[in-house]
Amino acid sequence: MAEKPRLKVPKEAKKGEVIEIKTLIAHVMESGQRKDRDGNTIPRKIINKFSCEFNGKPVFTANIEPAVAANPYLSFFAKVEESGTFKFSWTDDDGTVTTAEEKITVS
Amino acid sequence: MPKMTRREAIVLGAGGTALALAGWPAAALADAKAAADEVAKFTGGKAAEKGNITIELPEIAENGNTVPLAVTVNAPMESGNYVSDILVLADGNPRPGVAQFQFTPLSGKAIASTRIRLAATQNIVVVAKTSGGQFFTDQKLVKVTIGGCGG
């Protein structure tokens, strides 16, 4: 995964605020259903799991099937009570894990 | 899960097959029954109450390759009483599974959105599970002009 995932997380929030997080990672999400020109099935290669943690505590997880479009986009919410770091991870079928982090200041 | 009679399940299945695009082996498409099986696996056979779920989807998706989907469960998100899981199924795709989202009280809201692939016109079925073991369900029909699984 050469390209960096794209993240949208507010830099600041009020204590107890529920913020929206948007994520996007570049990936072909090959479904395993398509065939190449010679009629051979193209093997499945997708991001099968996404997770988001805040200060080590789980916030949101998604188990993804091939029915999710290429360059998987996910958005969800998080309630923040303290300043800290969001950790994101994407797991590929081949075992590669791409991670990213984003800090937030809570006042 | 609303109670589906055997007759309704057969009609839905037949409709899905008839709408399958050329080039798709009809047998490869999931039908309402496969989706119902996935729901039963998720709920452990417990009945799901209809409602409390908002599914945002276009009525007509011109391109099945990327269809925006947003799911909202209208239920409290407090520690001890929150929406823990949302299962999304597409009953007319080669395989019914789309995604399963897991939430915690830290999520604040039981909302998730993504973009999905749809092979043909079909129902999107959403089932939500609360930490207290309650289940909610709803579904929405999407018309797909061009199917989106390659082919």
Domain A6-33+40-106 grouped into CATH 2.60.40.10: yes
- Report the pLDDT value the prediction gives residue B31, as an integer from 0 to 100: 73
pTM: 0.84
Collect all residues of chain A within an 8 Å Cβ-Cβ radius of residue B105: 79
For chain A, the structural domain boundaries read 6-33+40-106
The DSSP result for A16-75, as a single string, is: TEEEEEEEE-----B-S--B-TTSPBPPPB-EEEEEEEETTEEEEEEEE-TTBPSS-EEE
Give the B window 48-77 contacts with A, CB below 8 Å.
65-67, 77
**pLDDT single digits (tens) A15-52:** 999 999 999 999 999 999 898 899 899 999 999 999 99
Collect all residues of chain B within an 8 Å Cβ-Cβ radius of residue A72: 114-115
B123 touches chain A (CB under 8 A): no
Domains of chain B, earliest start first: 6-146 (2.60.40.2470)
CB contact under 8 A, A79 and B115: no
Quote the ipTM score.
0.93
- Report the pLDDT value the prediction gives residue B11, as an integer from 0 to 100: 55
* Rounded Cα gap, residues A1 and A94, in angstroms: 11
